[in-house]
Amino acid sequence: MKGTVVYYSKWGNCEQVAQAIERGLEESGQDVSLVEARSVQGLGGDLEFLVVGSPTRVGKMAGPVRKFIKREITGDWSGRPFAAFGTKMGSPGEKGKPESAYDINRALTEKGLEPVAGPFEATVSGMKGRLTEGALDLAFQFGKEVGEALRGQGLSV
């Protein structure tokens, strides 16, 4: 199945997470590319799934990702599968804090897309990082999980 990972990153943490998720998707047999949110100009019509991620900005996704969703996710994406991820400060597994992955999940669900897994959140230990230990392994696993869920839907490559 053909899809893309779209992300924004100011200090490179969310980018590393996006790359690890891309590797996990590839590992599970998906045909996936990686693209920075501001450089997307027209998602190819042959894309079948989307994975979108952002650093947390005051409990929400960052502006470039919000703009990407507003600009690029048109009605014909309705019903297609997606997964959301994000980076945030805090402890791994900490729940209940508003953050980007859930904001993206909500925005894409409102556009009619169907979540296949997640959302996935990776934590950074300070404003500019670094990612907490094990975060990239978990991101890789998440990519695999998304890839396998896509196959489970009968949408395999």
Ligand X SMILES: Cc1cc2nc3c(=O)[nH]c(=O)nc-3n(C[C@H](O)[C@H](O)[C@H](O)COP(=O)(O)O)c2cc1C
Give residues in contact with ligand X (CB under 6 A). 9-15, 55-59, 87-90, 99, 124, 127, 129
Q: How far is the CB of 89 from ligand X (least distance, A)?
A: 4
Q: How far is the CB of 42 from ligand X (least distance, A)?
A: 24
Give ∠ CA 117-121-127 in degrees, rounded to 5. 160
- Judged by CB, which is closer to ligand X: 28, or 123? 123
Rounded CA-CA distance 63/112 in Å is 21
Q: Which amino acid is at 100?
A: S
Based on DSSP, count helices (H) and strands (E) in the chain, helices before strands. Answer: 4, 6
Q: How far is the CB of 53 from ligand X (least distance, A)?
A: 9
Burial 87-112 (b: 16+ CB within 10 A, else e): bbbeeeeeeeeebbbbbbbebbeebe
- The closest alpha carbon to 151, from 105, 109, 116, belongs to 116
- Judged by CB, which is closer to ligand X: 1, or 101? 101
Q: How far is the CB of 79 from ligand X (least distance, A)?
A: 30
Q: How far is the CB of 104 from ligand X (least distance, A)?
A: 13
- Judged by CB, which is closer to ligand X: 58, or 93? 58
- The closest alpha carbon to 101, from 115, 111, 81, belongs to 115
- Judged by CB, which is closer to ligand X: 28, or 56? 56
- Judged by CB, which is closer to ligand X: 3, or 53? 53
The tokens 């392994």 sit on which residue? 137
